[in-house]
Structure 1
Amino acid sequence: MNRLHLLACALFLALAPSLARAQSAELVLCDRLAADASDPDKPADVKGVPVVAASDIATAIKFCKKAAIGSRRAMYELGRAYAANQQVSEAIAAWRKAADKGSTSAMVELGVAYGTGNGVAKDEEAARKLFERAAEAGNPRGVTNLAALGGSAAPSDPARARELLSKAAETNAEAQYQLGLMLADGTGGPKDDAGARALFEKAAAQNHPGALERMGAFSEEGRGGPKDKEAAKAYFKRAADLGDEQAKAELKRLDCPIAIKDKRGNFVTDLCW
């Protein structure tokens, strides 16, 4: 090994930590702008966003494209950024690559594309297979989309959805929430308010907005456990702070419990205290 080669190796080793940090920084920025809150690949300390904000699209594409070289999560998030920018073919290409690497969220998005014919030829059988792959791997959206997919090729099967969600709910907040909804409504099996409440409580502990809102409702009504209006209000407040619109409405109802109406019965204003 000549001196030039040794020097090159030493330089690489010296730069390796900074290169790793740069890649990590790119993934952090990609996560911050484009992470999906329901993605099972998402780390617990990453909040996620419902959609990539218009003002963040260009930056998200830039950093997710770099981070995607070594991260299937970033590749999926790159697809989300492209989709937010109405670049459907680029989004599908990114999701296809992420799905090939095992991203179940990318499988779900591809399934939605095939199910709706958005950017690809409509193919319900292809959609069903993608949802099945995601569901079997424990992705909650894969489970619920599979259960909801209509047509003779794939009739809805709420009982099967319950079974698959039960596996995913061992670790995933979104699955806990979705399964809790099924238990609360008696969909796909017996109604179980106590079981639903326990699942909502687990997901709420992970700051799942929908589960926090449901815990507020269950606490206020005493469904599946103790009735506690103060706890209900606290749950609604946490959910509202995370952007849950139903929780915001419930908080307003609790703070303004009396509706003032005119002689004709038309709403005038809320009485708050």
Structure 2
Amino acid sequence: MRLLLSLTAFALLVALAPRLAHAQSAELVLCDRLAADPADPDKPADAKGVAEVAASDIETAIKFCKKAAGSSRRAMYELGRAYAANRQMPEAIAAWRKAADKGSSSAMVELGVLYGTGAGVTKDEAQARQLFQRAAEAGNPRGVSNLAALGGGTAPGDPARSRDLLARAAETNPEAQYQLGMMLAEGTGGEKDDVRARALFEKAATQNHAGALERMGAFAQEGRGGPKDAAAAKSYYERAAALGDEDAKKALERLRCPYAIKDKRGNVVTNLCF
């Protein structure tokens, strides 16, 4: 009788397994949809990501990310983003610590920012540098750029090293493509190369990276690294602005109102629009 019951229970588990797996993956999918970071190297390609968790989505994001976080470091990191959007910083920090312990380089970056600025934790530049270093070595582009901004350590005093780290990540990551493009456009860490920079911006722009779309607008408007194309520039700016990029919004306003009226001191009084 016991054997029969055990076999029945086993059969029931086998039958339910696909549903349980689906339910778990559905929770992660919903967590990704509401709270995924567009710059997170762990983010799946089919997840668009959001710059910030929308206020209307916070409660739902916390619910589903919390359920998925037990088996996913990405969900744990995204749970931290949802808590941070809800101004629950102690909970956000706790989630990011757990995610970082599991190897989330994006969580390392977020913690590094907090230690670097002293927001929610005691300011500790050495700890921030260490976290950015770990993230950079894991190929996280924000880890590389933030490490460079701090000064000291492996990459910051050596911009060429930063380029190398970004180049590896740029093979697949749009944020790395954008960051490396910026270094090439500005001649940081090596020769200035507008053609390569534009190619990288274009690659990231096809993945709807707001900053890269804005840069493609500027490059197309100015004819940097390729042909000058006013219509394409406006289109890139519009796409970037739709994603919330403030520089793109200003660029569109300049296109709409290109003529500046200045006073005798050279200060802009107003713009003429058409």
Q: Which amino acid aligns with 2:78?
A: E
Counterpart CA distance in 1 for 2:171 and 2:153 is: 31
Instruction: Quote the residue 2:256 is aligned against.
Output: 255
- Please list every run of 5 or more consecutive structure 2 residues that lacks an aligned counterpart in the other structure: none
Give the C-alpha shift of residue 237 in structure 1: 2.0
Instruction: Quote the residue 1:20 is aligned against.
Output: 21
For the pair 1:270 / 2:269, whether they are aligned, the reply is no
The verdict on how the C-alpha distance between 1:247 and 1:152 changes in structure 2, with shifts beyond 3 A counting, is: closer
Instruction: Quote the residue 2:165 is aligned against.
Output: 164
Instruction: Quote the residue 1:68 is aligned against.
Output: 69
Counterpart CA distance in 2 for 1:191 and 1:39 is: 27
Q: Which amino acid aligns with 2:114?
A: A
- Please list every run of 5 or more consecutive structure 1 residues that lacks an aligned counterpart in the other structure: none
Counterpart CA distance in 1 for 2:86 and 2:203 is: 35
Map residues 24-103 of structure 1 onto 2, 5 A cutoff: 24-103=25-104
Map residues 130-145 of structure 1 onto 2, 5 A cutoff: 130-145=131-146
| Range with greater deviation from structure 2 (130-139 or 250-259) | 250-259
Counterpart CA distance in 1 for 2:200 and 2:155 is: 28
Deviations 1:28-80 (A, max 9, x none): 22112211111011112212122222232222111100011111110000011
Counterpart CA distance in 2 for 1:181 and 1:93 is: 33
Instruction: Quote the residue 2:244 is aligned against.
Output: 243
Deviations 1:207-252 (A, max 9, x none): 1111111111111111111111122122112212222222122223
Map residues 188-203 of structure 1 onto 2, 5 A cutoff: 188-203=189-204
Q: Determine what percentage of the aligned residue pairs are the same residue.
A: 75
The verdict on how the C-alpha distance between 1:93 and 1:254 changes in structure 2, with shifts beyond 3 A counting, is: same
Moved over 6 A (4+): 151-154, 260-266
> How many pairs does the alignment contain?
272
Name the SS for the 2:272 alignment partner: strand
The answer to whether the Cα contact below 8 Å between 1:64 and 1:75 also exists between their aligned partners in 2 is yes
Counterpart CA distance in 2 for 1:262 and 1:143 is: 44
The answer to whether the Cα contact below 8 Å between 2:155 and 2:162 also exists between their aligned partners in 1 is no
Instruction: Quote the residue 2:216 is aligned against.
Output: 215
Name the SS for the 2:100 alignment partner: helix
The answer to whether the Cα contact below 8 Å between 2:133 and 2:154 also exists between their aligned partners in 1 is no
The answer to whether the Cα contact below 8 Å between 2:38 and 2:48 also exists between their aligned partners in 1 is yes
Counterpart CA distance in 2 for 1:262 and 1:227 is: 32
Counterpart CA distance in 2 for 1:11 and 1:153 is: 55
The answer to whether the Cα contact below 8 Å between 1:260 and 1:271 also exists between their aligned partners in 2 is no
| Range with greater deviation from structure 2 (250-259 or 235-244) | 250-259
Give the C-alpha shift of residue 151 in structure 1: 6.4
In the superposition, the TM-score normalised over structure 1's length comes to 0.91
Say what the alpha-carbon RMSD is for the aligned residues.
2.3
The verdict on how the C-alpha distance between 1:266 and 1:179 changes in structure 2, with shifts beyond 3 A counting, is: closer
Counterpart CA distance in 1 for 2:92 and 2:44 is: 22
